[in-house]
């Protein structure tokens, strides 16, 4: 630095302004503040030297000194504001959570629109096939009373057939009176009751929805799954109408090379009852592990509506007859898309989910 003298005031001022500009942190600014503009500064020493000057010289030099002090002080305050802003930004950056590392690129990359999941897509496709065959689509509750889930379906309390469904009971009302529906068949009862009340027979309807069973999930079962139920209540309906409907559906949904067949079965609410099977879509009927080498996969149950069910809802079974069927939507998706393990449907693994967009 040049000699401390008023003659060098411009040089001193320039040196001070450079020193201010070079301050690199608030901490440095605070430490050096008094040596730049305070008592220990060049400007204060010069101030003291004014005493040795004539009054005229003093006025002139005093004014120049004041101007220098103003410029340096202003520069220092501006530098303080800058450094404060810089340090606040650095703190915010350091504190910000980098979610990119936590959830992967899906969320941190530009937003991808979602799409319906495979079950929703399958349900819509099934509805479309049935609507094309003249069925309406209806909805029913997931929480049912014992009456709708069992009793009206010809299973009085303690009927052994109730054991066909491992049931979740809700803690509502009397014990074991409110259930999560174990199948979509209770929706049949709602529909028939409504049709009787509104004098709206015949009925041709399908009823898709979620069902629940106390099953341990495995490759072919989930505890919360989806079924689609169908009923026809009309005049002169026979078993041939049922078999024809199942066959027409199978070909429309799975393709012309997939056959269906009915095998004798038992359900308390249909008589006669059958289980319906389709050609295994994995081996096309050759026999493989999925179909236990039979070439056939069971899709659901069906049968002619039992007169006891008609009696429960007040339909005259001498005038009306009908059939019902019910099968798993998840099982259809599994067959159609050759999904080896059904648990993939609920894992939410994006690599799986994205295949069905």
The residue ranges that bind ligand PHE (CB under 6 A) are 183, 185, 229, 267, 270, 300-303, 324-326
Cβ proximity to ligand PHE, 69 vs 253, nearer residue: 253
Cβ proximity to ligand PHE, 118 vs 211, nearer residue: 211
Return d(Cα 118, Cα 47) in angstroms, integer.
Answer: 84
Number of CB atoms found within 10 A of residue 188's CB: 29
Find the shortest distance in angstroms from Cβ 221 to ligand PHE: 12
Three-state SS for 225?
strand
Instruction: Determine contact, residues 209/107, Cβ cutoff 8 Å.
Output: no
Half-sphere exposure for 22 (CA within 13 Å, toward CB): 8
Cβ proximity to ligand PHE, 75 vs 276, nearer residue: 276
Cβ proximity to ligand PHE, 72 vs 155, nearer residue: 155
Cβ proximity to ligand PHE, 211 vs 258, nearer residue: 211
Joined tokens for residue 313 = 């809802």
Find the shortest distance in angstroms from Cβ 116 to ligand PHE: 25
* Bridge partner residues of 275 (DSSP): 263, 301
Instruction: Determine contact, residues 207/229, Cβ cutoff 8 Å.
Output: yes
Find the shortest distance in angstroms from Cβ 207 to ligand PHE: 10
Cβ proximity to ligand PHE, 209 vs 301, nearer residue: 301
Three-state SS for 33?
helix
Find the shortest distance in angstroms from Cβ 151 to ligand PHE: 14
Return d(Cα 226, Cα 185) in angstroms, integer.
Answer: 12
Closest CA to 187 of 134, 142, 120, 246: 142
Backbone angles phi, psi at 26, to 5 degrees: -60, -40
List, in order, residues 6 or more apart from 262 with CB less than 8 Å away. 243, 246, 274, 275, 276, 277, 302
Find the shortest distance in angstroms from Cβ 275 to ligand PHE: 8
Find the shortest distance in angstroms from Cβ 160 to ligand PHE: 15
Cβ proximity to ligand PHE, 208 vs 303, nearer residue: 303
Find the shortest distance in angstroms from Cβ 128 to ligand PHE: 21
């Amino acid at each position: 630095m040049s000699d401390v003298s008023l003659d060098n005031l411009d040089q001193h001022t320039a040196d001070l302004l450079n020193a201010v500009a070079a301050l690199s942190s608030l901490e440095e600014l605070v430490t050096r503040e008094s040596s730049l503009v305070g008592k220990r500064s060049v400007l204060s020493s010069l101030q003291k030297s004014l005493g040795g000057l004539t009054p005229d010289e003093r006025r002139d030099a005093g004014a120049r000194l004041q101007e220098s002090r103003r410029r340096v002080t202003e520069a220092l305050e501006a530098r303080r504001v800058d450094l404060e802003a810089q340090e606040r930004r650095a703190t915010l950056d350091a504190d910000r959570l980098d979610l990119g590392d936590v959830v992967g690129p899906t969320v941190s990359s530009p937003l991808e629109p979602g799409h319906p999941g495979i079950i929703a897509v399958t349900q819509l496709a099934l509805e479309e096939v049935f609507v094309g065959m003249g069925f309406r689509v209806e909805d029913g509750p997931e929480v049912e009373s014992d009456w709708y889930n069992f009793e009206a379906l010809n299973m009085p309390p303690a009927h052994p057939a109730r054991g066909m469904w491992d049931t979740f009971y809700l803690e509502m009302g009397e014990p074991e009176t409110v259930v999560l529906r174990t199948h979509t068949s209770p929706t049949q009862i709602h529909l028939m009751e409504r049709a009787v009340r509104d004098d709206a027979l015949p009925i041709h309807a399908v009823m898709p929805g979620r069902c629940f069973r106390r099953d341990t999930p495995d490759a072919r079962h989930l505890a919360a799954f989806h079924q689609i139920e169908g009923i026809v209540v009309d005049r002169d309906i026979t078993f041939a109408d049922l078999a024809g409907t199942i066959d027409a559906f199978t070909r429309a949904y799975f393709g012309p090379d997939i056959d269906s067949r009915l095998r004798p079965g038992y359900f308390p609410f249909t008589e006669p009852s059958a289980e319906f099977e389709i050609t295994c879509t994995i081996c096309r009927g050759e026999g493989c592990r999925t179909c236990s080498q039979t070439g056939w996969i069971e899709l659901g149950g069906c049968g002619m509506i039992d007169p006891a069910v008609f009696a429960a809802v007040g339909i005259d079974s001498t005038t009306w007859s009908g059939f019902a069927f019910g099968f798993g939507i998840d099982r259809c998706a599994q067959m159609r898309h050759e999904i080896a393990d059904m648990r993939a449907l609920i894992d939410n693994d994006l690599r799986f989910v994205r295949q069905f967009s």
